[in-house]
Structure 1
């Protein structure tokens, strides 16, 4: 579904990604793990068209999307749940969700998807008229996920969904990620909580200083001494 081949990405003169290659197959949950500043968010921003690779190719559904504008990438079926949630604070929950569907014209389908989001996140239904800026961190994370789903994506890019959330909420968010995947959406997940991410992923990539250093099935990475020492709090 997604093939990233040897991409280099720069911020000015600083190289953030060096020859990164990875694949995501339809129906999978693939997770990227690595320390802060390793390049994980940069990779997601590049996939969603917010940054442009200097080198290399990104293919989605067999076609190159390298350097395409972000709105075209959303229209092609890729949605991005950014780090830090980024909800529109002075708009209601429902207005935020409707904005997620701004590129769609099928009003009946939009209504169905709104219903589906409220079923996934009953808390948002209770709060639908409330200003998004007044929601808790966990509720804002649910809203950011719901808003991305309103574009009816085939591929969902998620950046640190558990960041700053209480452990009980983290569990809930991960259960919902699994449910979204079971409903047919492929997921590429960036997550600091490596244990949690590997527990739901099919495959994983470890990124260190802008390069992929290890890849394999989630089980292989959970069993790897190197990964245990660095990311799973193992000894």
Structure 2
């Protein structure tokens, strides 16, 4: 579904991603793990059109999307839930969700997807008229995911969904991520919590200082010495 080939990204003089190649097959959850500053968020921003690659290609469903504008990427079926959630704080929960569907014209489909989001996240339904800035961190994360679902993506890019959340909330968010995947959305997940990232994924890639240093089935990656030592605290 998604094929990234020899991608090079620079921030000014900083070489942020170095010849990164990876692929995501339809129906999978693929996790990308690595330390802070490894280039994980940069990769998602490049896929979603926020950063232009210096060289290399990104193929989505057989067509190149490298360097396409962000709204064009949403239109072809890729939604990005950014790090730090980025909800529109002065707008209600419902208005945030409406914005997620801004490129769509199918009224009935939008209505059904509102219902789908509220079924996945009953708490958002309870707070639909509330200003998003007054929600808890966990609720804002739910809203950010819900807003992305309203664009009806085939591929969902999730950037650090567990960041700053209590373990019990993280567990519930990840159960919902698995549910979204079971309902047919392919997921590329960037996550610093390697344990939970590898427990939900089919396959995984490890990114270190802009390079892919390891990839394979999630279970194999979890059992590698590198990952045990660096990311799983030696377990």
TM-score of the pair, normalised by structure 1? 0.99
Deviations for 1:113-156, whole angstroms, at most 9, x for unmatched residues? Answer: 00000000000000000000000000000000000000000000
Give how far 1:222 is off. 1.1
* Cα distance between partner residues in 2 of 1:226 and 1:90: 44
1:67-146 superposed matches below 5 A = 67-146=67-146
Aligned to 1:164: 164
Q: Secondary structure at the match of 1:96?
A: helix
Task: Determine helix, strand or coil for the equivalent of 2:74.
Answer: helix
Report the counterpart of residue 218 of structure 1 in structure 2: 218
Q: How does 1:51-66 map to 2 (within 5 A)?
A: 51-66=51-66
1:41 is paired with a residue whose SS is helix
Following superposition, the deviation at residue 184 of structure 1 comes to 0.1
In the alignment, does 2:234 pair up with 1:231?
Answer: no
State the alpha-carbon separation in 1 of the partners of residues 127 and 187 from structure 2.
26
In structure 1, runs of 5+ residues without a counterpart are: none
How far, CA to CA, are the matches of 1:36 and 1:99 in structure 2?
30
Q: Report runs of 4+ in structure 1 exceeding 4 Å deviation.
A: none
Shift of residue 226, structure 1, vs aligned partner? 1.2
How far apart, CA to CA, are the structure 1 residues paired with 2:226 and 2:67?
A: 35
What value does the CA root-mean-square deviation take over the aligned residues? 0.5
Per-residue deviation at 1:182?
Answer: 0.1
Secondary structure at 1:38 match in 2? coil
May I ask how many residue pairs the two structures share in their alignment? Answer: 235
